[in-house]
Structure 1
Amino acid sequence: MKIRVATYNIHKGVSTIRATPRVLALKKAIGLFDAEVVFLQEVQGKHDKYTSKFGDETRGQRHWPQAAQHDYFAGESHHAAYGMNAIYDHGHHGNALLSAFPIGNMHNHDVSDHAYEQRGILHCMLDTPSGSVHCFVVHLGLFEAGRTRQTEALINCVLASAPAGEPVIIAGDFNDWRNTLSATLRDKLGVTEVFDELGSGSMLGGMVRGLMGTKRKVTPARTFPAALPCFRLDRIYVRGFKVDTAEVLHGPLWAKLSDHAPIVATLKLA
């Protein structure tokens, strides 16, 4: 069985400049992934101010949907799960999973390191034709010490809920710009990052280095900022899958939708 997956930090559905609503364009862009499973971060479950400001029809079109973003993005083709993390007076946001497969159960794990930076890990079990697949949507903190503790919480969560041998996909915004967490995740969980086999964000680069017989450094792809990616923040780790393809989506479309570029990968169940 093949599964196409994507991970994307959508910046709450607003542009980084002037807070222009991008929710309608994001729905179309997410459709371009052609993915059965989409891992989303910074998803607005509720935002009364934006609903009030942009929700009324302008020229026959609403610029902010009345539904929660995860339900709006899911539409009729996907199931949706949402883990509320950050709560404020006018709403809340968190992680979400869109799945073409039924979501058997879900649980949101609070891994906030302090009151000013609320974070969570959303665990969903998918009922696929080939059996259960565990999906973990991740958005780690901005500070390295906190990310280390949150990674330990992630490891404990996976070990407790996904028995050895069951397929696992862990994806999201790790904020791990120095790539200090990958080795721990590989050692403790037996996972592989999707670019491990394909090269550092480039399938062609990995093929060339393989043909030349040169040793390459295993690093994730550059995804931030979307307009000119320099930092390796977003990841897809897998267990029980073979990675067929993986790519970061670049270009003018993605640069204006969010500050992160999305990653899309095609996986084959091992």
Structure 2
Amino acid sequence: MHSIPAGMNPHSALRLISYNVHKGIGGLDRLCQLDRVCRVIEHENPDLYCLQEVTRHSRRSHYQDQPKIFAERFQTLDSTYQMNVHYQVGGYGNLILSRWPIRSRHHISLRLGQKKPRGAQLVTVETPQGSLHLINFHLGLTQHERHWQIRHLLNHPLFRESTHLPTLMVGDCNDWRDRLGELFSERGYQAATTGEKRFNSFPAFHPLMALDKAFHCQNIQIKHSRVVRSRLAHRASDHLPLVIDFDLRTPQSSAEQKT
């Protein structure tokens, strides 16, 4: 697998970034400086943005409307926001931004019992290569909770209605033992990331665990996957971002290759 330079998007590939932005708060200095996160993302020039821990109107993040700030900063065509954790004022959750139109969007709860609210965003995006079924999630802290969340997601009617499309699932899995792969493989999904040290993304200032992961169906070809390790990324959040370059293998494109 050939390396693709940071900030450069190959002509034929789609680029996605998955990033727990930690509300714009640096993992080491604990300062809320959202501009650092924006500059890390801008350097990668993604087409699709799957962000976690994006806040709106919370005191700790200076009452910023971060979904609006990101959408205006990156000038994306479409977006959808899911607030999962509610404070007395404001809260935080997941955000998808897209360079292309989002045809359908669903937000499902992944909360188990009285544990912290978690969620998944399910969208279909009209990319230049065809329709993409994209999922952005943030999973829980215990293994039992995470396994329940993935089973709940994969069995959910809103997920299953679009599984005929090329499907890519990304997010902060909190899966430090790398145990979720079996649940996905049982349903025919492959890992674009593994437990290898090169995918360690947390904590950002000295990454020891591969918490940020991606899983995909066979109709997606992963061209390259990597964790961003710039000096700025090590300071901007408590996670490092994951970048995926990929192509869609649609039935139409497969037929064209045979002719």
Coarse TM-score class (shorter-chain normalised): 0.7 to 0.9
4+ residue stretches of structure 1 with deviation over 6 A?
Answer: none
Aligned to 2:143: 144
Instruction: Report the TM-score, using the length of structure 1 for normalisation.
Output: 0.80
Larger radius of gyration: 1
Provide closer, same or farther for how the CA distance between residues 17 and 143 of structure 1 changes in structure 2, counting only shifts above 3 A.
Answer: same
Structure-2-length-normalised TM-score: 0.84
Matches within 5 A, 1:87-126: 87-126=86-125
Distance 1:36 1:251 in 2: 20
Whether contact under 8 Å (2:201, 2:209) holds in the other structure is yes
Instruction: Supply the AA of the counterpart residue of 2:128.
Output: P
Q: Which residue of 1 aligns with 2:200?
A: 222
Which whole-Å CA distance do the structure 2 matches of 1:4 and 1:32 have between them?
12
Alignment of 1:180-195 (within 5 A): 180-188=179-187, 190-195=188-193
SS of 1:151's partner is: helix
Alignment counterpart, residue 45 of structure 1, candidates 56, 66, 80 = 56
Distance 1:114 1:130, change over 3 A: same
Shift in Å at residue 159 of structure 1?
4.9
* 1:1-270 equivalences in 2 (<5 Å): 1-17=12-28, 19-48=30-59, 50-51=61-62, 65=64, 68-75=65-72, 76-157=75-156, 159-164=159-164, 166-188=165-187, 190-195=188-193, 200=196, 202=198, 221-239=199-217, 240-270=219-249
Q: CA deviation at 1:91?
A: 0.7
> In the alignment, is the contact (CA less than 8 A) between 1:113 and 1:146 conserved in 2?
yes
Checking the alignment, whether the CA contact within 8 Å between 2:227 and 2:240 is kept in structure 1 is: yes
State the 1:49 CA deviation: 5.5
Separation of aligned partners in 2, 1:22 and 1:115? 32
1:128–1:246 CA distance, 2 compared to 1 (3 A):
same
1:227–1:252 CA contact under 8 A, matched in 2 = no
Note the C-alpha offset of 1:246: 1.1
After superposition, the C-alpha distances for 1:42-84 in whole angstroms (9 at most, x for unaligned) are 01122145436xxxxxxxxxxxx5xx21221122234211111
Structure 1 unaligned residues grouped into runs of 5+ = 53-64, 203-220
Structure 1 pair 249–262 and aligned structure 2 pair: CA distance change class (3 A): same
| 1:215-258 residue CA offsets vs partner (Å, 9 max, x unmatched) | xxxxxx21111112111111011222111111111132111111
Q: CA deviation at 1:95?
A: 0.6
Structure 1 Cα separation of the partners of residues 22 and 68 of structure 2: 17
Structure 1 contact 10–40 (Cα < 8 Å) conserved: yes
The change in CA–CA distance for 1:187 and 1:78 in structure 2 (over 3 A counts) is same
> How far 1:31 sits from its partner (Å)?
1.1
Task: Tell me by how many angstroms 1:94 deviates.
Answer: 0.5
How far off is 1:18 after superposition?
A: 5.6
Root mean square deviation of aligned Cα:
1.9
Change (3 A) 1:184 1:116: closer
C-alpha distance in 2, partners of 1:163/1:17? Answer: 40
Structure-2 change in CA distance of 1:104 and 1:28 (3 Å): same
d(CA) in 2 for partners of 1:50, 1:83: 17
Offset from partner CA, 1:122-146 (integer Å, 9 cap, x none): 1111112332211111100001111
Aligned partners of 1:134 and 1:107: how far apart in 2?
Answer: 11
Equivalents in 1 of 2:186, 2:161: separation in Å?
Answer: 18
Is the partner of 1:29 in helix, strand or coil? helix
